[in-house]
Chains A and B, each alone.
Chain A
Amino acid sequence: MIAHTDDNTSDQSIFAPSATNIQTGFRRAELLISSNDGTDASTTGVKTLHFSVMKDTTRPLNLTHEYQLVFLESADFSTNQFVLKTGTILGGNTTDPDTLQLFGNVNANPVQTLFKTSFTAGVFHNFAVALNFNAK
């Protein structure tokens, strides 16, 4: 499966949640699972999410920007409980933008950096994120 943003001159990768809410600041193309409606079982109990990413050297990113590659967005859209980013993190102090960084809840103060690694080309970077949604 390949995901890519495509924006030649027609700004095709602009998301508009409604006709009056057009996200002209972002360029985005994402896959969501159809059964994952926001209140389903995939965010209950103890679940492990697996995913792998690899650079597409024919479509390099512009690392002066911040990119979100994988994230869980809460059902009320108020936060991302975890997020895999690369590039130059807004409001941050990114020493090497060519890094994969996995953060915890972005509304935490401070935001936790759970893991980071160099975004080496030519290999798949495999992640498993074990999520214990049970709050005792």
Chain B
Amino acid sequence: MIWNLARFKGLWFLTEAASSTTQVFYSQGNEALVAQTQATTNDISGQGQFHFGVLKKPVNGGSDITKSGDQESGINEGIIFGGIFEENSANNCISLSPQASAATTRSCRSLRRRHI
């Protein structure tokens, strides 16, 4: 919890500062993305690495599920991924659709990205 001192009409106030937030957008197929949440407080500090793929956890595991539990043999499972990229949203720009649209005020007109 981080607090700021703010001054208003000659009085000092403590205000809670915005901590790290996460906002989720979603769509199916070729539909434009739609916000599903507000920018929600969620501790995303600690930097790190993004993972894309399939991590299958065991069943009947013990205290350390990385090294215990059951996995069947002959696994042949998969997920199809597409459209993985990251964009800079520092200017409040979030791409919602491949087509730039004036109607979506937060859409990015010029997209600079690398995607797979």
Contact = CB atoms under 8 A, between A and B. Distances in A.
Interface in A21-36: 22-33, 36
Contact of A48 (B42, B79, B80, B87): B87
B54 A48 contact: no
B74 interface: yes
Interface in B21-70: 21-29, 31, 33, 36-37, 39-40, 42-59, 61, 64-69
A67 B76 contact: no
B49 A75 contact: yes
A74 B55 contact: no
Nearest to A13: B75
Contacts, number: 309
A115 B24 CA distance: 7
Contact of A56 (B19, B64, B68, B79): B79
30 contacts: A2-B80, A3-B54, A13-B56, A24-B66, A25-B58, A25-B61, A26-B71, A27-B75, A29-B53, A30-B52, A32-B51, A43-B48, A44-B47, A50-B84, A51-B52, A53-B82, A59-B76, A65-B57, A66-B56, A67-B57, A72-B44, A81-B44, A114-B42, A115-B26, A125-B28, A126-B28, A130-B39, A132-B20, A133-B20, A135-B19
Interface of A: 1-9, 13, 22-33, 36-40, 42-56, 58-62, 64-76, 78-79, 81-82, 88, 90, 102, 104-105, 107-108, 112, 114-115, 117, 120, 123-136
